[in-house]
Amino acid sequence: MTHPGFDDVLAAAARIAPHAHVTPVLTSRAMDALAGCTLHFKAEQLQRIGAFKFRGACNAVWALDEADAARGVVTHSSGNHGAALALAAKSRGITCHVVVPEGAVPGKLAAIAGYGAVLHRCAPTIDAREALCAELQATLGARLVHPYTDPLVIAGQGTAALELLAAQPLDAIVVPVGGGGLASGTALAIAGASPSTTLYLAEPAGAAETAASLARGERVTQFTPDTICDGLRGTLGAINFELLRGHGAQALVVDDAATLDAMRWVWTRMKQLIEPSSAVALAAVLGNRDLFEGRRVGVILSGGNVDIAALVNA
């Protein structure tokens, strides 16, 4: 399987049902008034490991045949995907190796280790991460579960939007985009469950290669990320670009200051702890009021794994 489809999202939903939470859809009159539209928040910060990433990792791990599973899994991750794969592997009783870049959020690294994964550190570049992953894969025989280009991961991430659309008809869905796993999975879910719903991709200005890629019609891969959204610093995957371009997804670029403002709105008005990589989706709505005014808008809050030390000083 190279390009997953809607049927793969449905299969993923059935596969992960015994393991993943069906997260709630939250509403807030105060946030509706602020945004000028009706907001429906898919609370993936309440998913296992505190992020949507568990969906894709769980689908990939439980789709393995017994022989592949026995050799374990390997990935690279700045945090949430690593924790998700570690927990998914633990649920199946197999070994998990995670390549982590220097400078990753300490709390996220602690979570990965806490779920039982073996950590391998590398330089903070995509090339370094992928090179060490390939080395471990060759040495250990472990199955690579890429954070966002693995078709099983993409299908699993699409189950969040599938649940959201089942709960509420929507005119638009806004999701954060980094590597594109959640975004392309959401595109698949929309295509099969609600084709009239428009998909918007919220992206930090300091890592806006998805917006540039969609505008040019080809992937932009040479850039140096500079954003507080640590989970969105990855390069948009080739398969993800193809799925998003084919779906007609639209990118909205957001600066970090607006993202931090949106994060604080959710903390104070909704009493929900979300991270910057999650808040960027709400920031995109608040920063484009004319685009969303009067519409029913789904916002996928992707995670809530905030560095506690940084939170105390926020």
Statement to judge: residues 23 and 76 lie in one domain: no
Task: Please give the tally of structural domains in the chain.
Answer: 2
Cα–Cα distance, 264 to 279 (Å, whole number)? 9
Q: Walk across the sheet containing 38-43 and list its strands.
A: 25-26, 38-43, 296-301, 172-176, 198-204, 250-254
Query: Mean pLDDT over residues 248-267, rounded?
Result: 97
Given a cut of 60, is residue 312 above it in pLDDT? no
Cα–Cα distance, 59 to 13 (Å, whole number)? 8
100 SS3 class:
strand
Q: Which residues are catalytic?
A: 53, 78
Query: Mean pLDDT over residues 284-311, rounded?
Result: 91
pLDDT in tens, 37-88: 999 999 999 999 999 999 999 999 999 999 999 999 999 987 889 999 999 9
Statement to judge: residues 73 and 109 lie in one domain: yes
Cα–Cα distance, 33 to 293 (Å, whole number)? 10
Cα–Cα distance, 208 to 57 (Å, whole number)? 25
Range of the domain at 271: 6-52+150-312
Positions of E strands within 170-302 = 172-176, 198-204, 250-254, 296-301
Statement to judge: residues 47 and 69 lie in one domain: no
**Residue 83 phi/psi, 5° resolution?**
-65, -40
Task: Check residue 124 and report its DSSP letter.
Answer: S
Cα–Cα distance, 5 to 157 (Å, whole number)? 12
Statement to judge: residues 112 and 167 lie in one domain: no
pLDDT in tens, 157-168: 999 999 999 999
Of 144, 160, 194, which residue is a domain's last? 144
Statement to judge: residues 126 and 183 lie in one domain: no
Q: CATH number of the domain that 156 lies in? A: 3.40.50.1100
Of 144, 179, 207, which residue is a domain's last? 144
Predicted TM-score (pTM) of the model is 0.94
Question: Residue 105's pLDDT is what?
Answer: 76
Statement to judge: residues 174 and 221 lie in one domain: yes
